Amino acid sequence: MVDLKQLAYERKNIMVFLIMASFLKGLAMIGQALFFVLIADSVFLKNASFQDMVPYLFGLLGVIFLRVLCGYVIGRSGVNLATEVKTHLREKLIQSFAANPLQASIQGQSGQKVSLLLDAVDELDGYYSKYIPQMIQSYIIPVLLLIVIFSQHWVTGLIILITAPFIPIFMALVGIKTKEKADQQMEKMGQFSGTFLDVLQGLTTLKLYGQAERQQQTIKKSSLDFRDATMEVLKSAFLSSLMLEYISMLSMGIIALEIGLRLVVFDSLTFFTAFFVMILVPDFFNMLKDFGSAFHTGKGSTAAANRLSAHFEKEAPSVEWGQGILSNEPPYLTLNGFSFQYGEGFKLEPIQAEIPPYSQAAIIGKSGSGKTTLLHAIAGLLPPESGNVLVNGVPRDQIDEKSWFEQLSYISQNPYLFAGTIKENIAIGASRETTEEEVWEAAKKAGIVEMVMSLKEGLDTPVGEAGRGLSGGEKQRIALARAFLKQPSVILFDEPTTGLDLQTEKILQESLAELGKRATIITVAHRLHTIKQSDVILILSEGKLAAAGSHNELLETYAPYEEMLAVQHGGIVQ
């Protein structure tokens, strides 16, 4: 739960500073009124000389200066408070994104997450830079003013006491409505950011399929929704300012009437008291009005805080179980009745199979039979619907995610390369600092040395986000180099479906053979060579495990196998 007030109270120094500055500001306001009235009273009623005025004038100057100074200090403290809290929350968010189980990380739109990190946290700014400082002032200053007003003329004090509560009551009423609208506004903003980034990321695809126009409409609609929600929030904010203005005008009018009658008609008040009270009363109401507008900013922030809370609550507790189950030795993997379904869509039927350490497993089957799905399931990217994947006899989801992923390399058909140099992209394979030599060594084993040498900047050549500028095969070999650095004990490999040239094919096979010395390799296989030399071949057909066994076993027991081999890519058949 993100408790906004609590976050402010935790920053005690700033809060104490705010309270002291507010108290001083209240005193300065009273002092300012006092000197002002003293000057007016002396000049107009007591015919004082300029000489007599000088101390009062200096006094007035002094309190004005104090008031401005306090205002400045309060403003600055508010900004500091906002900065500290926002930094704290952003750090916490980033930590939570980083620590999230992979399952949670791949859910939801990236745009929504970015919006949480940037917009939602920024929404809180007003709460700390405006609302909290104003709230403290509104607790302290009106009370000070009221005490002085009561001491001068209790009837005015009484009128204020009767009328002023209407302001918070009304504010609370409007506030409830505003909160609802602010919630909607926040939600709309999240949706808008999500849609926007989604569309942006898929722009090429959308263009190719002539869908750009339609998506443009989606974005437009999403942005208009956001605009409407914002206007709703503003509408209620303006309405509440109007009402606050009315209430305070009305009470000031009553007070002015009462004081005027006493001063002029009944002659029962001195000019000094009347003037003094009439200067303090508007200050009193101004304070409440300022609080009213700050209150709205504060309410807007509550919606953002709720979004943040929702995120933190969803975050799974990071329990570190199952450590020590994995060593650097490849584990014994068992698919123990594992099944999975994409929503209402494709279903991977329960699969029973064993993959012993250091073995090579091949998953084969027609396109769409569920090979990649099974590979993702073994990696732990998909939660089981029933059954599980046993790692050394322990269900995979009971093993600490971090130590599992430390033992795993997944080389997909289209590995993700980050914006950075080739060197950086290889080095992320290892979770430690790596030397240039190690990176070269890994690059050599993955067979990309020649390719890298042909580039002007070598390993320091930048590759774009998602690996723009490199071919699919080159990206896969960078992923292989990562694996060489990491030296995992389980390698999941989605073999390229496209025909590779002989040279590349050879490098790939040598690389995998090298990696296989220390690891279990599970391949979604398309090449005859890979399939034939595998220890275990899992044949998938429409989401079911149709057969499993070695090449020779399958040749004898599963008739369609031979036919399947015939359509595989030739590769290097020996």
Binding site for ligand ADP (CB under 6 A): 342, 345-346, 365, 367-373
DSSP 553-570: HHHHH-THHHHHHHTSB-
What CA–CA distance (Å, rounded) separates 53 from 558? 112
Residue 202 Cβ vs ligand ADP, minimum distance, rounded to whole Å: 15
Which residues are 521's β-sheet partners? 360, 491
What does the block give as tokens for 250? 């009305």
Nearer CB in complex with ligand ADP: 29/374: 374
Residue 413 Cβ vs ligand ADP, minimum distance, rounded to whole Å: 10
* Residue 37 · residue 275 · CB < 8 Å: yes
Residue 225 Cβ vs ligand ADP, minimum distance, rounded to whole Å: 27
What CA–CA distance (Å, rounded) separates 15 from 29? 21
Nearer CB in complex with ligand ADP: 24/492: 492
Nearer CB in complex with ligand ADP: 17/346: 346
Helices (H), 344-412: 371-379, 401-406
In this structure, the number of other CB atoms found within 10 A of the CB of residue 326 comes to: 21
Residue 524 Cβ vs ligand ADP, minimum distance, rounded to whole Å: 6
Cα-flanking dihedrals φ and ψ of residue 446, to 5°? Answer: -85, 0
What CA–CA distance (Å, rounded) separates 400 from 405? 9
Residue 360 Cβ vs ligand ADP, minimum distance, rounded to whole Å: 18
Nearer CB in complex with ligand ADP: 191/341: 341
Nearer CB in complex with ligand ADP: 463/528: 528
- Integer distance in angstroms from the first to the last C-alpha of the chain? 63
Which residue reads 């942005």 in tokens?
A: 223
Nearer CB in complex with ligand ADP: 365/384: 365
Residue 494 Cβ vs ligand ADP, minimum distance, rounded to whole Å: 8
Residue 371 Cβ vs ligand ADP, minimum distance, rounded to whole Å: 3
Nearer CB in complex with ligand ADP: 25/371: 371
**What are the CB-based long-range contacts (under 8 Å, 24+) for 346-349?**
346/370, 346/373, 346/543, 347/385, 347/543, 348/373, 348/374, 348/377, 348/543, 349/543, 349/544, 349/545
Nearer CB in complex with ligand ADP: 256/565: 565
What CA–CA distance (Å, rounded) separates 255 from 249? 10
Residue 346 Cβ vs ligand ADP, minimum distance, rounded to whole Å: 3
What CA–CA distance (Å, rounded) separates 234 from 192? 19
